[in-house]
Amino acid sequence: MNIAIMCSGGDAAGMNPAIKSFVENCLKKDIVPYLIYDGFEGLIDGNIKKAFYGDVTGIMHLGGTIIRTSRSKRFYDPKFRKIAYNHLKDADIDKIIILAGDGSIKGLDIFAQEYNISFVGIPTTIDNDIYGTDYCLGVDTSLNVIKNALDDIRDTSASSKRAFVVEIMGRECGYLALITALTSGAEICIIPEIEANLESIENRLKEELENGRQYILAVVAEGSNQTCNIKNWLEETLNVETRTLVLGHIQRGGNPTVFDRLMGTEFVSFSIERLLSTEHVNSVITYKNSQFEFIDINTVTSNVYTIDSRLLKQVENLTK
């Protein structure tokens, strides 16, 4: 039996531990593991290689993905999906594990339905915005990278009596910014999920500044599109020298944390077992309430992820 693994979309720390676990688990079970390089682009180009222990030695601690990833416009075209299938057929592969977000998983589902491919999607995105799972592979490392950066920013902010507006990734989801604000001791949190009350924030901060506050840290989710507005507002309303910092793709890098390494390993182990025990699979493995479960791909892609109301409640005091 041959099984392949691939990555698609944005990279995330935790992919390499998952790839290492995949190869080693397969070889122990006398399954032939294949690595699909460069995501759907590599699938179309036939960049598919049989894997051995040596291919994954020493990658557990590495960020990113050794098999690389991509976003593919060509895969939307049925003629290129046909080419991709022929490459899989040549290698006798009819089972795939994909590390990706819900868009890429949906793309693979269309392909799988056309050509009777079984697959399991492992939710992998630092945005943590996939429906049905509390956790996506890579988010813990990203949060720790952000935490380290904000700790350093607070040092210089306090030393110079400045305000810093820090833009956090996450597309349309404010999860990263919300958790960052709660765990960094920020004074302001701006996320798409909650409408900020700037008048109330102004009154609160003016009182704090009058009573000895020396600096302000504002965390802004990129999906809110408010980074420049908050900077200007701080300078004009509170008369505080303000700097803006967009953390950008540093949030995708770094050695995977212990949790992301462990979860990458467990996601893959359960996924292989699912592919072996079920005749036809088109599922996403999720982690909900500290339990692993498989849910139908349509359930994932037809619903919109929302941040836990408990977390939204906790951050309300930073939005008003």
Residue 239, domain CATH: 3.40.50.460
Tens digits of per-residue pLDDT, 48-65? 999 999 999 999 999 999
Provide the residue type at 110 as one letter: I
Assigned domain for 169 exists: yes
H-state helical runs in the chain: 15-28, 39-45, 53-56, 78-90, 102-115, 139-160, 175-184, 198-210, 227-238, 258-277, 297-301, 309-315
DSSP 223: G
Please indicate, yes or no, whether residues 266 and 248 belong to a single structural domain of this protein: no
Task: Tokens for 266, please give them.
Answer: 């467990």
Backbone angles phi, psi at 188, to 5 degrees: -135, 140
Q: Are residues 291 and 275 in the same domain?
A: yes
Residue 200 lies in a domain: yes
> Which long-range CB contacts under 8 A does 89-93 form with residues at least 24 apart?
90/46, 91/2, 91/4, 91/34, 91/48, 91/50, 92/2, 93/2, 93/3, 93/4, 93/34, 93/48
Residue for token pair 């462990």:
262
Provide the residue range defining the domain that includes 14.
Answer: 2-138+256-303
Residue 50 domain-assigned? yes
Give tens-digit pLDDT for 90-136: 999 999 999 999 999 999 999 999 999 999 999 999 999 999 999 99
What CA–CA distance (Å, rounded) separates 312 from 41?
Answer: 38
Q: Model-level pTM? A: 0.96
Between CA 105 and CA 103 the distance in angstroms is: 5
What is the model's pLDDT at position 130? 97
Q: Which of 11, 94, 109, 127 is labelled catalytic? A: 127
Q: Are residues 167 and 132 in the same domain?
A: no
Same domain, 134 and 263: yes
pLDDT one-digit tens code per residue, 293-316: 999 999 999 999 999 999 999 999
Q: Are residues 109 and 184 in the same domain?
A: no
- Any catalytic annotation for residue 127? yes
Do 126 and 144 sit in the same domain of this protein? no
Number of domains in the chain: 2
Pairing of strands 95-100, 216-221: unpaired
Residue 317 lies in a domain: no
Identify the burial level of 255 via C-beta atoms within 10 angstroms of its C-beta, where 0-12 means exposed, 13-18 middle and 19 or more buried. Answer: middle
CATH of the domain at 116: 3.40.50.450
Q: What type of residue sits at position 309?
A: S
Average pLDDT, the chain: 97
Same domain, 216 and 67: no
Q: Do 134 and 53 fall within a single domain?
A: yes
User: Is residue 311 in a domain?
Assistant: no
Residues 128-186 have pLDDT tens digits of 999 999 999 999 999 999 999 999 999 999 898 899 999 999 999 999 999 999 999 99
Q: Which of 219, 253, 287 is the last residue of a domain?
A: 253
- Do 64 and 161 belong together in one domain? no
If asked whether residues 48 and 107 sit together in one domain, one would say yes
Residue type, 107: G
Residues 270, 163, single domain; the answer is no
Distances (CA, A) of 44 to 2, 47, 83, 88, 144: 18, 8, 6, 10, 35
CA dihedral of 246, 320, 156, 229, whole degrees rounded to 10? 40
> What's the rounded mean pLDDT across residues 199-226?
96
Instruction: Determine the pLDDT at residue 202.
Output: 97
What Å distances lie between residue 308 and 6, 68, 164, CA to CA? Answer: 30, 32, 27
